[in-house]
Structure 1
Amino acid sequence: MEKDTIATYKIVLVGDTSVGKTHLLKRYSKNELPKNSAPTIGVEFGTKEVTLKDGTKVKAQIWDTAGQERYRGILSLHFRRAVGALLVYDITKEKTYNSIMKWMEDLKYLADPDIVIMLVGNKLDLVTKTQENRKVSIAEAQQFALDNKLIFKETSAVLGTNIKEVFEQLLQEIYNQKKKNPQPQIPNNNIKDLTSTQRQNDDCAC
């Protein structure tokens, strides 16, 4: 790799509809939230440059994928060449947690063989208000992550809790893995900054 070349890592946000994938992306990239809660239609994406612990700069190409069942047929297009994923569920809705196994299987089948996956329990702010809202325990999710060799963390896109940490820990893990097993990275030509990226639904909150 040339000295001034920045490696680009494709990351996908995956999970059922309304778990907060777009909220996570918007909070990380712009430190703001979507203006409405309409589900993502198809996919939207953007880029963000990040400096890792050793000073190396990498570029994250982040894809926010639709969670509706009718879009699962085009997952191969969205997941192709993805080297990292945030597998997101809503900690207040057990149904979204029950879906993560299927999403994980899709990722491992369709994305990069060595994809790094982080399990993310979102909407921690709702549990902060009242513990009765929690439907998925930390211990259960931690055990699932351990059994499937995933990284795990809980977040709140609304409060900004652990948002920077999940994205940048994922990027660091991808970088560490690629250093051990170097492979050509995806080209970053014609990738626009997230502030100007064309989207099919700019303000969705899926």
Structure 2
Amino acid sequence: MAADSIWHYQFRIIMLGDSTVGKSSLLKRYAEGVFQESMSQTVGVDFYVHFLEIKPGLHIKLQFWDTAGQERFRSVTRSYYRNSAGAVLMFDLTNRASFESIKKWHQEVMETVKPYHVVFVLVGHKSDLKDECKVEQKEAEKLASSLGAKYIETSAKTSQNVEEAFQILTLAIYEALESGKMRPNEQWDGIKCKLPPEAQLKIQEERRQKKCSC
């Protein structure tokens, strides 16, 4: 689906992690279906868009903010945290230091987004380089659990789990929307809704019925 007008919800997602962990290559593989062996470092913030049908007839526009990992751009990238519905916390499986930086990235977001809710997914990238891996899966899963996130390992080079990583995050955002943890707001751009008013009322009624049946 290429037409920008055909979507019901727009979710803004921010890509976070140290420089050279592969944020841009993962996004390029997902959004454009290509892998570039060598990509120039992101300066400030780049933007990508992808469309996804998460259930029959329900189309989501994913708007990605691909942020620079270098410290000198941090003041620029921080300004994008608040208007994000989801965040990909990403590290390089062959780079131990990038894994140890994840808590810092998570903390920065949490300190900035209040009172809004952000959904996280932890991504260990470059899974094709198994012989060079410096982070065990169980250790990464433990960190993800402590951050209230799911963990998945990906490779932009081989396409392993690329679709799955963003599917996990998109569904988690939608579940937060359905449960009432997140909702469209005129003062917040993390989620935008194009559903007609009657459809929105139907969803709200379904939410109320779910709460009553608990």
Normalising by the smaller structure, the TM-score range is 0.7 to 0.9
Matching residue of 1:139: 138
> Which residue identity does 2:144 align to in structure 1?
A
> Which residue identity does 1:183 align to in structure 2?
R
1:17 paired to 2:16? no
Matching residue of 1:126: 129
User: In terms of mean alpha carbon deviation, does 118-127 or 32-41 score higher?
Assistant: 32-41
Matching residue of 1:183: 183
Give the superposed CA RMSD: 1.9
Task: Report the alpha carbon displacement of residue 5 of structure 1 after superposing the two structures with TM.
Answer: 5.9
> Which residue identity does 2:184 align to in structure 1?
P
Q: Report if the CA contact (8 A) 1:116-1:150 is conserved.
A: yes
Task: Report the alpha carbon displacement of residue 7 of structure 1 after superposing the two structures with TM.
Answer: 1.1
Structure 2 matches for 1:48-127, cutoff 5 A?
48-111=50-113, 113-127=116-130
Matching residue of 1:27: 29
Task: Report the alpha carbon displacement of residue 35 of structure 1 after superposing the two structures with TM.
Answer: 6.2
Relative CO higher for 1 or 2, CA cutoff 8 Å, sep ≥ 6?
1
**Residues 10 and 44 of structure 1: is their aligned pair in 2 closer, same or farther, counting only changes over 3 Å?**
same
TM-score, normalised on structure 2? 0.79
| Larger Rg, first or second structure (1 or 2) | 2
Counterpart Cα distance in 2 of 1:100 and 1:159: 24
Structure 2: runs of 5 or more not aligned? 1-5, 195-214
SS at match of 2:110: helix
Count of residue pairs the alignment pairs up: 182
Counterpart Cα distance in 2 of 1:63 and 1:8: 13
TM-score, normalised on structure 1? 0.82
Q: Report if the CA contact (8 A) 1:22-1:34 is conserved.
A: no
Counterpart Cα distance in 1 of 2:142 and 2:34: 32
> Which residue identity does 1:166 align to in structure 2?
A
**Residues 35 and 147 of structure 1: is their aligned pair in 2 closer, same or farther, counting only changes over 3 Å?**
closer
Matching residue of 2:204: none
Q: % of aligned pairs identical?
A: 34
